[in-house]
Structure 1
Amino acid sequence: MAQEIKFHVYFYQWMKLYKKDAVRDVTYQKYQMTQRQLVKLAPDMLLSDLTRLTYQQLLNDYAESHERQTTMDFHRHLKSSIVDALEEELLKKDPTRKAIIKGVKQRKHKNKYLHQYELQALLNELELEGEINWDYFILLIAKTGLRFAEALGVTPKDFDFAHQTLTVSKTWNYKTNEGGFAPTKNKSSMRKIPLDWQTVIQFSQLTKKLTEDEPIFVDGMVYNDTVNHYLERLCKKSQIKVISVHGLRHTHASLLLYAGVSIASVARRLGHSNMTTTEHTYLHIIQELENQDNDKVMKHLASLI
């Protein structure tokens, strides 16, 4: 009987049929991770064993070692496959109905962003003379807010020095041995980023003798951890708090918001698909700025007497 198939086997077949080559490689890898967790937690669970109780227990077991948001992602992957199992009448009832998402207390994460004086201290430590190095990579992300894979995908021809812009149209697939260019995260991620004149001068000199359509920063396999560890050493040398490379992107956006740049402009610069993403990510900054605005409003109104 079809319904006697093991749940993790069904999920594996489902993700190969519906997700492989239909989603980005990095997204498919997340489905693969879910499948491996499913094998680990429920190696003998049959699809027909799924009830609200057994499914909730599966989520609870996963949540014992994962944060709530990660458990939610795990649940969404499983639920997607279960919805199709219901349509195929392999299941009679939806075991995911009213599922409760739990999770361990959020772990302490690295600092998300630097203040302006901290960023300046970091930039002062960069070695920006001579050939390409990770210092230029760090500088580019700090000045543009690029994602890690977007920065790796930058080629000399992406720069338009005459108009002071950088075109983001691709990324670099650093998570596989094959490497190669890959699509951007979404359609909104394809954008032109205005550059300040200092960055234009620095990168116009740097890219003069480089092959136009080859990535500037890629020379063999690139690991996110390698660059993060290098940045950590720079932060300690600068005597500032340690952030990740992605934290440079947050720093870029945060400083723009504090400078009074609109949320819409920051969203476009970051390549967010909508302003809601920007508002959610930088809610604490936006609320702080709103409090400052309220003070300004009150002072203005008081002056009208």
Structure 2
Amino acid sequence: MIKIASFKKRGKTWQYTIELGIDPQTGKRKQKTKSGFKTKKDAKEAAAELESNTFHGFSKLDPRIVFRDYEKHWMRKYKRLVKPPTIDSRNTALKHIRMYLNLYPIQDIDKDRYANMLYSLHDKGYAPNTIKSIHSTARIIFKSAKDDNLITVDPTENIDFRFLRKKQILDEEDIFEEGNFLEKEELVIFLNISKKQKFPQDFPIFSTLAYSGLRRGELCVLKWDDINFIEKTISITKTYYNKKGKIDEFDIIPPKTKSSKRIIDIDDFLVNVLRKLKAWQNEYILANGKNYTNFNFVFINTNMYPGYPLHPNYIYQHMLKITKKMELTKTLSPHSLRHTHASLYIEAGVELRDIAERLGHDNLDTLQKIYAHTTRGQKKKTAEKFSQLMTKVLEQTSL
């Protein structure tokens, strides 16, 4: 990489000198000096701009740049465009990509080499959605390389992912496996068990997830100002982010998509549940006044940092305790309650477009793919409709 060697004041102006590495043709050191900047800050900004447009002394059009060097250049630009959680996700994917492609010149990474990387990850037991996430990151990088005229063919295009079918697993947002939601009868049992738990927030938490369809991160940073008890609505405008996993180091960030910002109606049942939770919380604050930090969150931490938002892992761990008591054979997660919410809305005959708006989905096709299943109740309705149709036909024939 280029290295800033020095900043010097020359008379009334400043200059920078940068090491550009070794010229691959001559073997000699390459430097660049530029002067005439009014302040040292101006010189630093100009040097940083040069750094962002140079990879290891190579020109942008030099196809011998290796993947590692180009990826660093790409990341500097990408960080300006997206939010921290997205950067974290891309960095996680890049750890895997670097293991396979780091030192290859970017023009030498053809489709076979790239596909072999994906096959190798699959053979090592990586989940299909992890592999697709890695692929998604690689797609962005190689598209950028193509835009920069470093490559003419993108090796990540038109990958056949049928090889992933052998190891299909459940992913919270993108894949729904048959049966990984609660039937309405099971939901009643689930909520009844949560009500009997020794943790006073369990029943309100799981009632809210089941009756609103909120994502776990959206629920964790829900504030009392977001709930309108008169209009019976909840406003979803933010989500939980915690890079280090420490309860006292959380961030509140915008939700994942524009459509995730929404106002949803809630029924009298959930309104009453939340009113009772507010009464309990008021008593808790009085009892823990000196230690309580009032962020105005609906669901609060009650351990080391009273008043801080719940960590999403709390919800997962407490759900496991409840489902264990139900002795269910299917695998469930907090996100299963979101699926349950959508499934029961489908059974109730609500239009998919209205469900998408309620859940904050920005793509109706994606929603249709995720919820391309039916509950037992919906299946029974379908069978009854067929029976009714055939009964009418039979009445008109001699069959």
TM-score where L is the length of structure 2: 0.67
Which of 332, 337, 361 is the matching residue for 1:243?
332
Please identify, of 250-259 and 2-11, the stretch whose mean Cα deviation from structure 2 is larger.
2-11
Aligned in 2, Cα 1:87/1:186: closer, same or farther, shift over 3 Å?
closer
- Corresponding position: 1:62 with 2:151: no
Displacement, 1:122? 0.9
- Corresponding position: 1:26 with 2:85: yes
User: Which residue matches 2:54?
Assistant: none
- Corresponding position: 1:160 with 2:228: yes
Please identify, of 171-180 and 283-292, the stretch whose mean Cα deviation from structure 2 is larger.
283-292
User: Which residue matches 2:40?
Assistant: none
How many pairs does the alignment contain? 304
Structure with the higher fraction of residues in strand conformation: 2
**Aligned counterparts, 1:162-181, within 5 A:** 162-176=230-244, 177=246, 178-181=249-252
Gaps of 5+ in 1: none
Displacement, 1:9? 3.5
Displacement, 1:21? 4.2
- Corresponding position: 1:215 with 2:276: no
Aligned in 2, Cα 1:35/1:113: closer, same or farther, shift over 3 Å?
same
**Aligned counterparts, 1:56-205, within 5 A:** 56-64=115-123, 65-101=125-161, 102-103=163-164, 105-109=166-170, 112-127=180-195, 133-176=201-244, 177=246, 178-205=249-276
User: Which residue matches 1:253?
Assistant: 342
Structure 1: distance between partners of 2:296 and 2:309 = 15
Question: Share of identical aligned residues, percent?
Answer: 24
* Contact persistence 1:174–1:222 (CA under 8 A): no
Structure with the higher fraction of residues in helix conformation: 1
Displacement, 1:74? 2.2
* Contact persistence 1:165–1:192 (CA under 8 A): yes
* Contact persistence 1:156–1:213 (CA under 8 A): no
Displacement, 1:161? 0.7
Paired letter, 1:166: I
Structure 2: distance between partners of 1:130 and 1:74 = 41
**Deviations 1:208-242 (Å, cap 9, x if unpaired)?**
53798622224357543442122111112233345
Which of 224, 231, 254 is the matching residue for 2:319?
231
User: Which residue matches 2:353?
Assistant: 264
Displacement, 1:34? 1.5
Paired letter, 1:164: K
TM-score where L is the length of structure 1: 0.85
Displacement, 1:3? 3.5
Aligned in 2, Cα 1:9/1:297: closer, same or farther, shift over 3 Å?
farther
Counterpart secondary structure, 2:263:
strand
Aligned in 2, Cα 1:104/1:79: closer, same or farther, shift over 3 Å?
same
Gaps of 5+ in 2: 1-57, 171-176, 286-292, 302-307
**Deviations 1:119-146 (Å, cap 9, x if unpaired)?**
1111111237998523321221011110
Which of 264, 271, 277 is the matching residue for 2:366?
277
Structure 2: distance between partners of 1:290 and 1:13 = 57
